[in-house]
Amino acid sequence: MVALGGALGSSLRYLVATVALAWLGPAFPWGTLVVNLVGSFAIGLVQQLATESLVLGEETRLFLTTGVMGGLTTYSAFSYESVRLMETGAWGPAWLNVVVTTIACLTLCYLGLTTARVLFAPR
């Protein structure tokens, strides 16, 4: 079910990115922003319905969170985990997660791009 959800989420991500590009143009990554915003809201909703309200079962929760939202965006998991830390009063770890994840991921993405450019530069 997780794999099926992942395929659905990935397909939705592609569809959103394609539609956003056609409607809004390439000047800003609108598709990525939309899936991250929707995924962050949806994972909070699903987790609440499954873990505290007990409206959704465990299999449905995994299908939607790990599967669909995992394929749609990993930012949703990051958002949920950070908010849960904040809700439990673990403000230090929550902000550490936000700051380190943001800075480290942007830095590593840049390093990955730079590494590939150096390794595969025209000679």
pLDDT digits (tens, 9 = 90+) for 79-123: 989 999 999 999 999 999 999 989 988 898 799 888 888 888 877
pLDDT at 94: 93
Most confident segment among 11-15, 27-31, 48-52? 11-15
- What share of the chain in percent tops pLDDT 70? 100
| Residue 77 phi, psi (nearest 5) | -65, -45
pTM greater than the 0.85 cutoff: no
34 Cβ neighbours under 8 A, 6+ residues apart: 16, 20
